[in-house]
Amino acid sequence: MKLHNKEIKDTTFVKKRLPVWDILKLFAIFLVIWGHSIAAFSSSIIDENPVYIWLNGFHVGLFMMVSGYFSSSALRLSPLRFLSKKLYQLIYPCFAWGGIKWIIIETTLIVSGGLASLSLSGLLSDLYWFSDFWFLKSCFLCFCIAYLGNMMPIKEKYWMPLTLIISQVIPPFSIPFMYPCFLIGIIIKKNEILMKGIVSHPIILFILFSAMLFFWDQEAWDKSHGIPTDIFTRDILYITELLFYRSYRLVLGVLGGLTFISIFHNAFNKIFYSPIINTLSGWGKYTLELYIVQSFVLEQTLSRFIKFDNYSLAIFNFLITPIASIVILLLCLYIIRLIYKSQKISKFLFAKENHNGFG
């Protein structure tokens, strides 16, 4: 019995998984930590920091594009197998780590005298289940949208634009921005000629991306996400402006993702056995874990005690926070390594065992 009227074929530019993709994932999570470091280590209004705005213009788009690139095997699963696998892989860790965060925060409040006992209402609040680890939930929804589209009894040239349109009316977790990037990842995995074209034009992509990034400022950032509460009372000019900035952000995110895919393929695609490359690609396999652990290390802990408000913006953005991000990334890797020493703990926290080996 066929579960699909079609299957996604692995007609990819590269027939096997190469280190370049894991290194690209490691670079993407570094950009995430860098952006979070800028927000965590400054007391100023973060939306006024240009580097923070630039990073948020494309780095999650790159991450989602890579996720879409590796989604083909999941899209071929049976409905029950697909749902159970993705819930366990992407949603379960949100509950496991959300529960840990609840215990830590509530216990801290009890010790400080701000709370009499553990609060069940606190456990069920938005703080732990909805807002935290939003990228994992966004990734889950993108997988679901693409899977439902692939299940439709129509050709992919129809279900892809159809799901793209549907994604634009699903507001949670930045789906209108994230799903198009996810879908492009699927497309470039399936289209060998397109992938070759992307890899062959890194300079052109970089120039276009840099030109768009130059005009990506605070006003563009402010108007590119979220839905104003008074949207229905505004005139058509205001709505058109919002649509322009949202479209601009989407194109910027796509160009950024394609640019770094091209650059990294040209830089690393032919290198297989370098010890440094093998180490970096090994680290890149743990981006999900890095995303979760950095939330505790950086956003919940270090941000409370460390501020660099006495330095110039240039030193803060291009020296202090990049170095801090590397240190935090290495610290998180060490913590992840400790967790993976126990199969039971790693399975409980990350919903998987360490099959790749941390050495």
Q: Give per-residue pLDDT as tens, 282-334.
A: 999 999 999 999 999 998 889 989 999 899 999 999 999 999 999 999 999 99
Burial state string for 111-129 with b = 16 or more CB within 10 A and e = fewer than 16? eeeeeeeeeeeebeeeebb
Structure confidence at residue 272 (pLDDT): 64
Distance CA 288, CA 293 (A): 9
Top-confidence residue, 35 or 271: 35
Residue 342, SS3 per DSSP: coil
Q: What is the mean pLDDT of residues 48-55?
A: 92
Structure confidence at residue 223 (pLDDT): 83
Cα angle at 28 between 159 and 265, to 5 degrees? 80
In this predicted structure, the answer to whether residue 173 has a pLDDT above a threshold of 50 is yes
Residue 143, Ramachandran bin (φ over 0: left; ψ between -120 and 50: alpha; else beta): alpha
Question: Worst-scoring range by mean pLDDT, 17-31, 45-59, 225-239?
Answer: 225-239
Q: What is the mean pLDDT of residues 21-48?
A: 93
Which residue carries 């096997």 as its tokens? 16
Q: Which residues lie closer than 8 Å to 354 by C-beta, 6 or more apart?
A: 340, 343, 346
In this predicted structure, the answer to whether residue 194 has a pLDDT above a threshold of 80 is yes
Instruction: Report yes or no: 6 and 156 within 8 Å, Cβ to Cβ.
Output: yes
Structure confidence at residue 116 (pLDDT): 55
Residue 358, SS3 per DSSP: coil
Instruction: Compute the mean pLDDT over every residue in the chain, rounded to the nearest whole number.
Output: 86
Distance CA 62, CA 59 (A): 5
Residues in the chain: 359
pLDDT band at 236 (very low <50, low <70, confident <90, very high): confident
The two tokens of residue 356 are: 């790749």
Structure confidence at residue 124 (pLDDT): 59
